[in-house]
Amino acid sequence: MLENSIFAILALFLLFGSLGMISFKQTIFSGLSFLLAMMALAGLFALLENSFLFLAQIMVSVGAVVVISLLVMLSVNVNEQNLPKEPAKFRWMLLSAILVTPFALLMYRSLTHLNREFAETTAGYGSLKMMGATLFSDWVLPFEIVSVLLLAAMVGAIIIARKEPVNDA
Amino acid sequence: MTPEPFFALATLLFSMGIIGIISRRNLFVVYMSIELMLSSVNLILALFSRLHGDMHGSVIALLMIAVIAAEAALFLAIIVLLYRQRRTLDSDVFSKLSQRDTL
């Protein structure tokens, strides 16, 4: 019963956060709604007993990604006249919702046919120890590839966003 | 507690991401919609990890969080570059690669 009410509160925060994210005109309000949605998602990870995933979501998605998005929004500092004119925004949203509905129904039906019961959790499920054991035994190659990917993304971001053009020697 | 509400929530989140990409023209909102779709997939992965009772889904979700961080860095750099060129966030302005200009 307690689980259900916690789920309801988190789902409400998540849905209203994402709805506000796609409907606010001012960019910074969209960013704040997105922050709310990401924190509610971290709460859902905690409800699924993935304690390490909860920590990673709070530290990386909320603490790094969303905060740096807010920083970029504030430093870009868009005026009202530089925002795109979107007079028919809600009409477009309604139209795309109608378009997306059959795909969403298909996705829901296929997901619910896959598995219907929660398994009994073993002791230590979701803990840092079990996570690390799985990560460094079965998933060690993807882990290393992700580290190379992060390095490449960092170099690429610096090259793209620097002011003066790069001189090829 | 049954997994159906989690499935419905993840589906709704994914649909909202698609709706945001289709209907909005602000570059930041498009970027956050993509992040929202990736996060809904993350929720599904964590849910299947819990349903099966092993950690593999959670590990994939953890790796995907790292991919989301890389994507965020590149996308924000591109947005800053585009805004510096044209002083707007309207995605319709940036049509350099479309064939309309060459005709």
CATH number at residue A63: 1.20.120.1200
Contact B32 A21 (CB under 8 A): yes
Which stretches of chain A drop beneath a pLDDT of 50? Answer: none
Instruction: Indicate whether B102 pLDDT > 70.
Output: no
Do the Cβ atoms of A53 and A45 come closer than 8 Å? yes
What pLDDT is attached to residue B89? 85
- Domain B4-86: which CATH class? mainly alpha
What pLDDT is attached to residue A87? 83
Residue A144 lies in a domain: no
pTM of this structure: 0.90
Nearest CA among B50, B69, B59, B61 for reference residue A140:
B59
What pLDDT is attached to residue A89? 86
- How many interface pairs between A and B have CB atoms less than 8 angstroms apart? 242
Which residues 27-46 of B have a C-beta within 8 angstroms of A?
28-29, 31-33, 35-36, 39, 42-44, 46
- Token output for B26: 């602000």
Report residue B68's pLDDT band, with 50, 70 and 90 as the boundaries.
very high
Residue A35 lies in a domain: yes
What pLDDT is attached to residue A166? 57
What is the DSSP-derived secondary structure letter of residue A58? I
Report residue B87's pLDDT band, with 50, 70 and 90 as the boundaries.
confident
Instruction: Indicate whether B76 pLDDT > 70.
Output: yes
Domain chopping of chain B, boundaries: 4-86
Taking residues B19-29, what's their average pLDDT?
A: 92
Instruction: Indicate whether B42 pLDDT > 60.
Output: yes
Residue A3 lies in a domain: yes
Which residues 110-169 of A have a C-beta within 8 angstroms of B?
111-112, 114-122, 125-126, 130-131, 133-135, 138-139, 142-143, 146, 149-150, 152-154, 156-158, 160-161, 163
Contact A153 B31 (CB under 8 A): no
Residue A5 lies in a domain: yes
Contact A160 B12 (CB under 8 A): no
Pairwise pLDDT comparison (A74 vs B101), residue with the higher score: A74
* DSSP codes joined into one string, chain B: --SHHHHHHHHHHHHHHHHHHHH--BHHHHHHHHHHHHHHHHHHHHHHHHHHTSSHHHHHHHHHHHHHHHHHHHHHHHHHHHHHHHS--BTTT--TTSTTTT-
Number of domains comprising chain A: 1
Range of the domain at A17: 1-80
Contact B91 A149 (CB under 8 A): no
